[in-house]
Structure 1
Amino acid sequence: MDISFEILTLLFLVATAAGFIDAMAGGGGLLTLPALLAAGVPPTQALATNKLQSSFGSFSASWYFVRNGIVSLKEMRLAIGCTFIGAAIGAEAVQYVDAGILTSLIPILLLAISLYFLFMPKAKAHSGEAKISEAMFALCVGGGVGFYDGFFGPGTGSIFTVCFVVIGQFSLVAATARTKVLNFTSNIAALLFFIIAGLPIWQLGLVMAVGGFIGARLGAKVVVTKGQKWIRPLVITMSMVMALKLLWQQHHQWLLSMF
């Protein structure tokens, strides 16, 4: 498709802002996906192109956290493997299964996540003892949330973060770092299926990828320097916004009929 320079510039700026937000709290797709649709990209290609650009952003944040010693890929290899397999299965399953049930449940889950972060006690500065074994965490959380990301997607970062905090007993900074590694893993797994199907628009995706990469690097730096001060309110805000957006999409006709 033919895209003007002005539209490419706007998409680059949107992706930069989305990458910054996504590195800290997830939810960057709330900006990038509507922007792609507004640019006239068909829905399925918009989803695929959004996965392409978001993969670069999640890689940028992951790389920063790994390079600065906040997370070890060796320690996460089992969770990475389970997440990849789960996301691959989800990306395949979505072609055959009605996503309506998940569409109805996810806003409730996102509201619960935002309320948890709003009312939870002050997060620990250091990690504690996990409630389940590393293998069980990798299988249940990595595989389960990975499947969800490949199958549907909204709120994946928030779900991973709350699992790392509540079940894994990690500090908020450590949880955010691990979330980006698994988020990148699930993004890549789903993206491979989209590429095989020939869906991404490479020109748009790569321009936005540069913006997302830059924004994610800046966001990752803020996580390290500001930590809980910025992450907690952003997780609450993005979870609430995603939940309300999904609820509006599902029930806007009913809501409008009331007025």
Structure 2
Amino acid sequence: MELLVVSLASLLAGFVDSIVGGGGLILMPALFATFPNAAPATLLGTNKATSIWGTAMATLQYSRRVTLPWHALLPAAGAGFVASLGGAWLVTQVSPDFLRKFMPVLLVAVLIYTLAKKELGRHHAPRFSGGFEVAVACGIGAVVGFYDGFFGPGTGSFFVFLIVRLLGYDFLHASASAKLLNTATNLSALILFSFKGHVWWHFAVFMAVANVAGSLLGTHMALKHGTGFVRGAFLLVVSALICKTAYDAFLR
């Protein structure tokens, strides 16, 4: 029964995550509710071992239909990988609790800004090219990658927002790009968790299959319905993240 519950949660998480990020909003609470006595690090590691397959599959699916700026994204993925390791190391030295009350405020600002800028991310108009685009992309990868290793909630959504806002991509291209960067940060964290023995592989294998199935469905819908659909999903996920992070910070 436990495997069935977390596999269904993983299926839904893969679906949401492939569109705009935020799958952890579904899978992590399911893991903590199903295994209340497990070590948090083990559940976090199992989540990474599961979600990395969905994000990797989404990256592959998007790359077949959406033209991605690999010259900028590959270095950015490398920056995210290294920064995520740094963040994961720092969290072993310093508690991230101080971020809990800041997160809902930041997410509210992202939501308000996106709603106010009605044309934000509706048209694909890259703002930079060449080395400067690479530099900005690497900056995004490094900042969000470090955050993912150190704290984590909303990583995919932050990637999408910053790619739209700073690089000028539409939401569909931004979501596709974010999947590659998120795969790199997930891999970085997974290596660390695996090295420390914090992965339940006997659960992760089945959950990964479900996550990939959800990811394939979500990617298909995003490609079929385009930027407007992804933008709407982004607003919905950010709203849900605000509720979740506010509850964790102020009510729990």
TM-score scaled by structure 1?
Answer: 0.90
Residue aligning to 1:52: 49
CA drift of 1:134 comes to: 2.0
Residue aligning to 1:77: 74
Cα contact 1:115–1:236 (8 A) shared by 2: no
Stretches of 4+ aligned residues off by more than 3 angstroms? 72-75
- 1:93 corresponds to 2:123: no
Which of 14, 17, 22 in structure 1 is aligned with 2:17?
22
- The residue matched to 1:227 in structure 2 has which SS? helix
Residue aligning to 2:198: 199
Residue aligning to 1:127: 125
CA drift of 1:60 comes to: 1.1
What is the CA deviation profile of residues 99-144 of structure 1, one whole-angstrom value per residue up to 9, with x for unaligned ones? Answer: 1222222221111222222222223332232399223213321111
Counting matched residue pairs gives 248
Taking every aligned residue pair, what percent have the same amino acid on both sides? Answer: 31
Unpaired stretches in structure 2, ≥5 consecutive residues: none
Deviates more, 1:70-79 or 1:222-231: 70-79
- The residue matched to 1:167 in structure 2 has which SS? helix
TM-score scaled by structure 2?
Answer: 0.92
Cα contact 1:15–1:32 (8 A) shared by 2: yes
Cα contact 2:101–2:250 (8 A) shared by 1: no
More helix by share: 2
CA drift of 1:75 comes to: 4.1
Amino acid of the residue matched to residue 101 of structure 2? Answer: S
- The residue matched to 2:100 in structure 1 has which SS? helix
Residue aligning to 2:187: 188
Separation (CA, whole Å) in 1 of partners of 2:59 and 2:28: 22
The 5-angstrom pairing of residues 96-111 of structure 1 reads 96-111=93-108
Unpaired stretches in structure 1, ≥5 consecutive residues: 1-5, 254-259
Cα contact 2:111–2:235 (8 A) shared by 1: yes
Separation (CA, whole Å) in 1 of partners of 2:70 and 2:64: 10
Amino acid of the residue matched to residue 32 of structure 2? Answer: L
